[in-house]
Amino acid sequence: MTSLLATTVAIPDVIVFAAGAVMIMIGALGVITSRNPVHAALSLILTLFGIAVLFIEQQADFLAAVQVIVYAGAIVVLFLFVIMFLGVDRNEDLDAEPLAGQRSMAFVIVLMAVGAIIALGAEAHWVVGPHSVSGVPGGPYQNVYNLGRSVFTTYLFAFEATAALLVIAVVGAVVLARRSGAANAEQPDGQPENEEVAS
Amino acid sequence: MSIPGEWYLILAAILFGIGALGLLIRRNVLIMFMCVELMLNAANLTLVTFSRMLNDIGGQAAVFFVLVVAAAEVVVGLGIVVSIFRRRSTAVADDISSMKG
């Protein structure tokens, strides 16, 4: 951390990092300050693209693509779908503060937490230990190959577990979001909704 | 020389803080979910940064699994929001206080 400004970094890298950081910051502040949930979702997309830029800058090519496809393409669309489906795309009154002192307390707590994280990181010698235990990430055009080999060998059990997790999540979402049988009997025209998309 | 990892870690810490702040001050359940996504992305950025610093693919594999868990979390969470909205016609967390002690 003491060598933070002493290191020489290439100018294009700095430009890419700054672009990604600005996208992330504008998007994140937009999420928490916009009155309209639709605008918040669009700001979230900006943040996710910024994260993808920084993934590319760190040679995590596959994750950058997945970030755009899964997050910006599936998750945010799911958010927008639910916002439109519920009809809550109205402006929210941000000035009302039902719990007195909540915002100032939240500011203080978050500032203390972030300051503590950065201070601990500055004190600690955190990047130590053996390198490349489960394979190297990089090499020219090797990221997808290396990541695939790692996921399907070292982390195969976790991969199978996520398959089970996704099935459970989809079934659970259908059970949660459909109308109950009694409600269907009262409303014969009630079509069973199927608003879940498999991500 | 590429960007030092500390820059990414500080940026991820700030992004995590913004997400936590939004989670604490916003009352719309959907926006609280989006703030959880911000925090998850900050953690992902940290994992990728450590993956690069340690030259180890394990961090990127962890991000892969975090993406899957985040997708499952959003699907179930939005299912709960839709279910609550059917009964209470509200998406504001303060109005869902029936179980308050």
Q: pLDDT tens digit string along A126-172? A: 666 677 777 777 667 788 888 888 899 989 999 999 999 999 999 99
Burial per residue of A92-130, b for 16 or more beta-carbon CB atoms within 10 angstroms, e otherwise: beeeeeeeeeeeeebeeebeeebeebbeeeeeeeeeeee
Report how far residue A169's alpha carbon sits from residue A132's, in angstroms, rounded to the nearest whole number: 33
Tokens of B81: 């929001």
Query: Is there a contact between B13 and A118 (Cβ–Cβ < 8 Å)?
Result: yes
Task: Indicate which of B27, B29, B34 best probes the interface with A, i.e. most A CBs within 10 Å of its own CB.
Answer: B34
**Does residue B67 register a pLDDT over 50?**
yes
Question: Is B26 inside a domain boundary?
Answer: yes
The predicted pLDDT at position B1 comes to: 57
Which residues of chain B have a CB within 8 Å of the CB of A1? 6
Residue of B nearest to A160 (CA): B65
In 3D space, the residue among B8, B4, B55 whose CA is nearest the CA of residue A9 turns out to be: B4
- Mean pLDDT of successive 10-residue stretches along chain A, which has 199 residues: 60 91 95 91 94 92 92 90 82 72 89 91 74 72 86 92 93 82 51 47
Residues 3-22 of A with CB under 8 A from B: 3-4, 7-10, 13-14, 17, 21
Residue of A nearest to B57 (CA): A137
Residue of A nearest to B31 (CA): A37
Average pLDDT along chain B: 87
How many domains in chain B?
Answer: 1
CB contact under 8 A, A137 and B59: yes
Domain boundaries, chain A: 11-93
Query: Is there a contact between A50 and A20 (Cβ–Cβ < 8 Å)?
Result: yes
Which residues of chain B have a CB within 8 Å of the CB of A53? none
Enumerate the β-bridge partners of residue B28: B92
- Over pLDDT 70: what percentage of chain B? 96
Report chain A's C-alpha Rg in angstroms.
22
Phi, then psi, of B92 in degrees rounded to 5: -100, 130
The CATH number of domain A11-93 is 1.20.120.1200: yes
The predicted pLDDT at position A98 comes to: 72
Which residues of chain A have a CB within 8 Å of the CB of B69? 162, 165
Question: Is B100 inside a domain boundary?
Answer: no
CATH code for the domain in which residue B70 is found: 1.10.287.3510
Residue B9: CB atoms within 10 A of its CB come to 22
Tokens of A144: 């997808």
Element holding A113 (H helix, E strand): helix A102-123
Residues 27-56 of B with CB under 8 A from A: 27-28, 30-31, 33-35, 37-38, 41, 44-45, 48-56
**Chain A: closest CA distance from residue B56 (Å):** 4
C-alpha distance from residue A156 to each of A107, A138, B65 (Å): 42, 21, 11
Q: Does A74 touch chain B (CB under 8 A)?
A: yes
CB contact under 8 A, A118 and B27: no
Helix A76-86 vs helix A37-57: crossing angle, to nearest 10: 180
Residue of B nearest to A104 (CA): B25
Is the predicted ipTM greater than 0.85, yes or no?
A: yes
Q: What is the pLDDT of residues B72-101, one digit of tens each?
A: 999 998 888 888 888 777 777 777 777 666
C-alpha distance from residue A178 to each of A77, A172, A189 (Å): 20, 10, 14
∠ CA B69-A34-A52, nearest 5°, is 40
Question: Is B39 inside a domain boundary?
Answer: yes
Report how far residue A164's alpha carbon sits from residue A84's, in angstroms, rounded to the nearest whole number: 30
CB contact under 8 A, B94 and A98: yes
Please give the residue range of the domain that contains residue B75.
5-88
Query: Is there a contact between B34 and A75 (Cβ–Cβ < 8 Å)?
Result: no
Query: Is there a contact between B63 and A63 (Cβ–Cβ < 8 Å)?
Result: yes
The predicted pLDDT at position A92 comes to: 72
Query: Is there a contact between A199 and B75 (Cβ–Cβ < 8 Å)?
Result: yes
Enumerate the β-bridge partners of residue B92: B28
Question: Is B95 inside a domain boundary?
Answer: no
Helix B58-88 vs helix A76-86: crossing angle, to nearest 10: 0
Burial of A160 (0-12, 13-18, 19+ CB in 10 A): exposed
Which residues of chain B have a CB within 8 Å of the CB of A14? 3
